Amino acid sequence: MNKNIKVRYAASPREVKGMDTNELRNEFLISDIFDNNIIKWVYSHYDRYMTGGVSPNSNDIFLDIVDPIKSNFFLERRELGIINVGQKGSVLVDGKKYILDYKEALYVGRGVENVYFNSHDNKNPAKFYLNSTLAHKSYPTKKISREEAEIVEMGSFETANVRTIRKLIVNSIIKTCQLQMGITELKPGSIWNTMPAHYHDRRMEVYFYFEIPENNAVCHFMGKPNETRHIWLQNDQAIISPPWSIHSGSGTCNYTFIWGMAGENLDYGDMDHCKIIDLK
């Protein structure tokens, strides 16, 4: 059994209002995701969302069970999304190999018993970023390349938010129970994501920030629209966003992030928008 898991309980807006910087970071920041040959997890009580990662540099790494899910195998009642943010690697799913290059995704459905992670070059390992949610039904395993993604161009240089959104694991591409994942890439000179901000009471999200150059950072904004807070993130770190919270960021340079979400529906456009001038 995998013992490398941390549990985060759900916090209400009333509790978050009184948190200092360290308390906010301990509650929502996931700072240590990748480790050699070890799958690390954070289990959130917001929609039972699990965030993890693994960077194999030796033998195949098995997707083992963790105690909080109380199951016979990891995907007995769950589905899994994988995006590679490292060098080329493979995922073996019940004996079938899927090769993932940089920024390619793999969806693995409920009921799969054996999943193994492998790097093609152990000196330059893959980095598999993992999201998992509860699943009520089994859907087929499917790889999604960058070219197969649903691509949306948004923003303007005047507002410093020109970005490319690649929807990878979404219901317009594949069938899932509730998991959705994609990548947002900001263009050079653009630093703002998800601004104007929004929230959605029907879903929670996790943002994973990467491609942040050394000595740079992203300031992630969260909280109720009239009671915002911020947390600074560095490369390869993630932040849990509750359903009641905005989720927006501004960097000291351009960057990329993976968004993953789960909840009541699969409607990507189900958002409660906030006017910029109403943020406090």
Check pLDDT > 90 for residue 103: yes
**pLDDT tens digits along 19-45:** 999 999 999 999 999 988 999 999 999
Report pLDDT for 1: 83
Global pTM reads: 0.97
Check pLDDT > 90 for residue 87: yes
Rounded CA-CA distance 73/90 in Å is 20
DSSP one-letter code for 35 = B
Check pLDDT > 90 for residue 93: yes
DSSP one-letter code for 34 = -
**pLDDT tens digits along 198-242:** 999 999 999 999 999 999 999 999 999 999 999 999 999 999 999
Phi-psi region of 85 (alpha: psi -120 to 50; beta: other; left: phi over 0): alpha
Helix, strand, or coil (residue 14):
helix
Identify the architecture of domain 5-278 in CATH.
Sandwich (2.60)
What value, to the nearest 5°, has the Cα angle with vertex 44 and ends 9 and 68? 90
Q: Give me the residue spans of the domains in the chain.
A: 5-278
Residues 6 or more apart from 22 whose CB is under 8 A from it? none
Rounded CA-CA distance 201/194 in Å is 16
